[in-house]
Amino acid sequence: MSVLVDTIVIADLFYNDPIWAGWSREQLIQYAEESFINPLVYSELCCRATSVDEVNQSLASLGLQYRELPKESLYLAAQAFRIYRGRGGVKTSPLPDFFIGAHAVTLGVPILTRDVTRYRAYFPSVSLICP
C-alpha cells in the first residue's frame, strides 16, 4: 500500500520537533517502502532549504519517492478550493492541502499526517494515518 506523506511529518524530522519527531520517525520507518511525496510537499520543504540538492539529499535519506500530480488531482483540488471559498474561506488560491488531499483521492492512498482538519473537511473519503 502506497502512502502519501504530508509536509509536516517530514518537517518534524528535518527540524527535530521535540514533541513529534519520534512519532514521525516511527511512521516513516513503518511505511518506508511505500512512502512518497508530490510537488506541493516538495515545494513546501524548499521554503527553508538552501538548495535543491539539500532537499533531494534529505528526501533520499528518508527513502521517499516523488510522484507528479495527475490532472484529475488538479481538478479535485480546484473543486475543494471552490467549496472552501463557498464556506467563507479567505485565501485567494488553492491551498497545498487541497492538492495533497486530491492526490490521495485520485490514487486511493492514505495520507500520513498529523494535521487532519482540512483533509477531513474537504476529502472525507481519504484514509488518514495520524496520531
Q: Write out the residue range of the structural domain in which residue 27 sits.
A: 3-129
User: Hey, what's the cell of 85?
Assistant: 471559498
CATH assignment of the domain containing 123: 3.40.50.1010
Stated pTM of the model: 0.94
pLDDT digits (tens, 9 = 90+) for 44-77: 999 999 999 999 999 999 999 999 999 999 999 9
CA–CA gap between residue 19 and residue 3 (Å, rounded): 22
Report the domain count for the chain: 1
Our measurement of the distance from residue 97's CA atom to the centroid of its chain's CA atoms, rounded to an integer in Å, reads 7
Percent of the chain with pLDDT over 70: 100
User: Hey, what's the cell of 92?
Assistant: 485567494
Question: Which residues does residue 74 pair with via DSSP β-bridges, in sequence order?
Answer: none
Given the DSSP bridges, would you call strands 111-112 and 128-129 parallel, antiparallel or unpaired?
parallel
